[in-house]
Amino acid sequence: MGRRKFIGVVSCLAVLMACWPGRVSWAQATGLAPTPPMGWNSWDHYRFKISDSLIRAQAQALVDSGMKAAGYEYVVIDGGWEGFHDATGFFRPNILKFPDMKALCDYIHSLGLKVGIHTTPGPVTCSGREGSYGHEDQDAETFAHWGIDFVKYDWCSGGTVYKPDQIQEAYQKMHQALLRTGRPILYSLCEYGMADVWKWAPSVGGNMWRTTGDISDNYLLMDHIGFEQNGLEKYAGPGHWNDPDMLDVGNGGMTEEEYRTQMSLWSILAAPLFASNDLTDMSSEALAILTNREVIAVDQDPSGVQGCQVWEEGPKEIWMKPLADGGKAVGLFNRNEAAMTITLNFKDIGVQAPAKVRDLWQHKDLGTVDGSYSAIVPRHGVVMLKIDK
């Protein structure tokens, strides 16, 4: 038998329910991200191969596919849009690919969506294009003029102009610039979890912050990133969220079971949900995973609690997230190379038997169960449940 570790509902809930200073007041102060932000980002699928027409097509597909109705609202233009700062210091997009950024933003807004953009506190982006260093106020003004609703501030070359102890200063500088525009702009920090960003990100205006390096459409990397989020739950809440990076559902590098694992784990983690596939050419299976309303409801639960691991035995793990209605969302995760039976003991999640059990992927009530529930979980897969008294 593999290593067994009982995490325990008492210790998990003690962390989950502890009042983190500023949690409510920060959400009230910004009015942004009361639940984890949701949307689409161009990076994982397209990298630098983006243009005005491509972004318009993806925005339209976000609506036509039903993803907007399911809660996805931000269309984030990641790296590849940048041109140069002109003689007056204002940022110009690459006009061959983005001839009129304000018109693009107006179009996306006309669909009932919001617009995000990528830049860096350094002099150049990760691909060598111009960044915002020395132009923070002008860039913030430009973004506000265009109608930007979300700024992803990616460290990239920040380390060439800022010392390690100046990271917070760099992010605070853009935060203040965004505030001065008077436009509500969600602020997404992307510095890969350096310097324990979760401990200070809200103090520099962060509504969400990357806790890790870049993800890719690969099970081993997704598995490592997702399951390593345990222990960060006390830093998340309304207005400020841990971000383990994008959803790769539909990009083709993982199985359906593995994509369901990512969607389930990210939802239990109360993580921002940003798809990054081609929305204009999406399989029905990928769409069903991305738009599962019951799983999304776990992520978007108004209590804003990030879930955590409550039980582990070798490759078998159980994660739990308390919900506002008194129920518990539970993921039975199998990280093994073959199917395995996983048993949830209700006492491990603080539920007195008997309890009602519902399968959130099968959309099926499983009845009232006394004491425990067992399921065969596929290789790299998940069974996601809601437990109610």
Catalytically active residues are 154, 214
Q: 68 is written with which tokens?
A: 């907007």
Q: 18 is written with which tokens?
A: 């502890």
Residue 90's nearest CA partner among 50, 145, 12 is: 145
Three-state secondary structure call for residue 250: coil
Cis peptide before 354 (omega within 30 of 0): yes
Instruction: Find out whether 106 and 86 touch, Cβ atoms under 8 Å.
Output: no
Beta bridge partners of 313: 4, 316
Cis peptide before 184 (omega within 30 of 0): no
Q: From CA 93, how far away is CA 83, in angstroms rounded?
A: 4
Q: From CA 97, how far away is CA 53, in angstroms rounded?
A: 8
Q: From CA 375, how far away is CA 340, in angstroms rounded?
A: 8
Residue 6's nearest CA partner among 331, 336, 345, 374 is: 345
Instruction: Report the 10 Å Cβ neighbour count for 384.
Output: 26
Q: Give just the sign of the alpha carbon dihedral 164, 187, 148, 48.
A: positive
Instruction: Report the 10 Å Cβ neighbour count for 189.
Output: 29
Q: How many residues does the chain have?
A: 389
Q: From CA 123, how far away is CA 136, in angstroms rounded?
A: 11
